[in-house]
Amino acid sequence: PRSTLFPYTTLFRSGDAVTGAAACAQAGKLPRVTRLMALAIKLQGMVDRREIRDYADIARLGRVTRARSTQLMNLLNLAPDTQEAILLHPSTTHGRDPISERGLRELTAVVHWGRQRKMWREKLSRQKSRS
């Protein structure tokens, strides 16, 4: 049966991905927002190559609402260096992931990357002070 979330396994089937996933599992849990960021990049590539027609198709494919697919794809509105930081964020070894997609929504709504970067730095500093 397919998951009600985006079908990660369907979109990322390759020997390298499986090997990489096993290595990540040993090192800790890859943050969910990291997986979602990678998924958004993958899906945008599929739209660009016309393998998927539009974001409505993404919603149907993932069996989620259009609003949820838009939230996911809005991660692509983040500055490139912020996206990279999310993709390279360290694994979570215990407890909850320190950064969530929901917590990034206010950043994705800001068009100016300079302001986004400032908000990102503030978010990271708050996160570190909680640790």
CA atoms within a 13 Å half-sphere pointing along the CA-CB vector of 14: 5
User: Tell me, what's the pLDDT at 131?
Assistant: 66
Kindly state the DSSP code that residue 31 receives in the 8-state scheme: P
What mean pLDDT is predicted for residues 102-125? 95
pTM of the complete model: 0.76
Q: Which positions ≥6 away from 110 have C-beta within 8 Å?
A: 116, 119
Kindly state the DSSP code that residue 89 receives in the 8-state scheme: P
User: Tell me, what's the pLDDT at 22?
Assistant: 55
Sort 53 into a burial class: Cβ within 10 Å, 0-12 / 13-18 / 19+. Answer: exposed
Q: What is the pLDDT of residues 25-61, one digit of tens each?
A: 556 789 999 999 999 999 999 999 999 999 999 999 9
Distance of alpha carbon 63 from alpha carbon 31, whole angstroms: 22
Distance of alpha carbon 79 from alpha carbon 84, whole angstroms: 9
Q: What is the pLDDT of residues 63-106, one digit of tens each?
A: 999 999 999 999 999 999 999 999 998 888 878 888 899 999 99
User: Tell me, what's the pLDDT at 23?
Assistant: 55
